[in-house]
Amino acid sequence: MNKSISCDIFCTVIDNFGDIGVCWRLARQLAHEHHLSVRLWVDDLSSFSRINPDIDQDQSLQHSNGVEIRRWLLSEDSLFAFVEPAQLVIEAYACELPKSYVTKMATQVCKPVWINMEYLSAEDWVAGCHCLPSPHPSFPLVKYFFFQGFTQETGGLLLERDLLARRDAFQKELHCQSVFWKTLGLPMRKPDEIRISMFCYENIFLPELFSTWAQSHTPVLCLVPEGRILPQVAVFFRRESIATGDVLQQGKLQVHVIPFVAQEKYDELLWACDINFVRGEDSFVRAQWAGKPFVWHIYPQKDNVHYKKLSAFMKLYCAELQGEATQALQCLWERWNGKSHRGEETQTISIHTWSVYFSFMEAFQQHAREWSMQLSGNNFVLNLLNFVRKIDKMQNLGCKSDLR
């Protein structure tokens, strides 16, 4: 595909950073690595600006990293009657496209390839739904479901061409790590210290975990970005409030409140830390590319539907781990997500729970590295573009299209 290929990505921001985080990575990769002309429609520029400081919240049309950024006013559907549809249309996470835009899609001689990029899940049913068509009830259009995933039967994960090489270079070069820590106002780690990044939703078990770290034998330096859990952190340290730059100490635990880093710098934070607590989807995937042990705080859903997704991923992720290490990981992950472990009524993160988990750090480190290499052979963007070519050839047979 070449620069003449146009692509529209539509994104509604539901979870602050997860939806736009994935869409922004996708947009940049399509533009930089495959030379598509990408237009990203976003309804919340405020959240977008947190992960991309170049974004001006007051500008409805702007450009960043080779991508055209457009404010998507959900209430002004009629405006899209004057917007020329792209050749490739990506509807992120089942957000509903403007009706007037869909109408215009139907009038095109060469019909756009319409993709519904779905949420990431390790559940078995995903493979059966991947690439399924969904004909429009009124127009001669077909939408195709395309799933990110962890197996070859899915679309894979977003992975930039040079990401793992940059990760390896960073983790081998102490100077790069030293420069990174200095940008956060931190020295290089002490020999007996572990560093943990903490990016999670509000969690009633956070005080228990902090208390456990405070009482542990190993010094823990925890990096907390400004965000949703700062009030909880303040309560734990008996402070009325805390802010970026604050350093808090209790026992063996030292917490540093750091700025909310831009998307590119977040990868370096994950690469530099020993353990990464992550949440949702985007940081969850990036933690896997970091090749470091991580703990996932899955997005809570009604009726505890998210527990099935959590269990499905742990089953895949732990398939190559030894039994005791698997039990230690599952125990910590389930308790962190508020799920009783193996039928237990009590939900606590005790010193014992953490100690057992920490005792397998060497095994978790090796496994995390091997897991990232295993996933790297299934690239979401490459799979997506191959699928787009196939669909374009099928639905626009006899029509001169640039997608092939």
Task: Sort residue 68 into left (φ over 0), alpha (ψ -120 to 50) or beta.
Answer: beta
> How would you label 254-279 residue by residue, b for 16+ Cβ within 10 Å and e otherwise?
bbbbbeebebeebbbbbbbbbbbbbb
Q: Is 19 annotated as catalytic?
A: yes
| DSSP class per residue in 305-364 | HHHHHHHHHHHHHTTTS-HHHHHHHHHHHHHHTT--GGG-S-----HHHHHHHHTTHHHH
Per-residue model confidence as pLDDT tens for the chain (404 residues): 455 799 999 999 876 677 899 999 999 999 999 999 999 999 999 999 989 999 999 999 999 999 999 999 988 888 898 899 999 999 999 899 999 999 999 999 999 999 999 999 999 999 999 999 999 999 999 999 999 999 999 999 999 999 999 999 999 999 999 999 999 999 998 889 999 999 999 999 999 999 999 999 999 999 999 988 999 999 999 999 999 999 999 999 999 999 998 888 999 999 999 999 999 999 999 999 999 999 999 988 888 889 999 999 999 999 999 899 999 999 999 999 998 656 554 567 888 999 999 999 999 999 999 999 999 999 999 999 999 999 999 988 767 777 76
Candidate list 8, 19, 91, 282, residue with the active-site label: 19
- What ranges in 184-304 are assigned the alpha helix state H? 206-214, 230-236, 263-272, 282-290
Report which residue type is found at 161.
R
Give the pTM: 0.94
Q: Is 362 annotated as catalytic?
A: no
pLDDT number for residue 344 = 55
Cβ(55)–Cβ(48) under 8 Å? Answer: yes
What is the token pair recorded at 381?
Answer: 């963007």
Candidate list 118, 267, 281, 334, residue with the active-site label: 281
Q: Do 6-158+378-395 and 163-375 have matching folds?
A: yes
Q: What class, spelled out in words, does domain 6-158+378-395 have in CATH?
A: alpha beta
pLDDT number for residue 16 = 63
Is beta strand 253-258 parallel, antiparallel or unpaired with respect to 247-250? Answer: antiparallel
Cβ(207)–Cβ(349) under 8 Å? Answer: no
Element (H, E) at 10: strand 6-11
Closest to 73 in 3D by CA, of 100, 98, 93 = 98
CATH for 163-375 is: 3.40.50.2000
What is the token pair recorded at 308?
Answer: 């099935």
Beta bridge partners of 247: 256
Show me where the domains of the chain are located: 6-158+378-395, 163-375
pLDDT number for residue 167 = 98
pLDDT number for residue 401 = 72
Radius of gyration for the chain, computed over Cα atoms and rounded to the nearest angstrom: 22
Distance between CA atoms of 352 and 48, rounded to whole angstroms? Answer: 40
Closest to 320 in 3D by CA, of 280, 372, 378 = 372
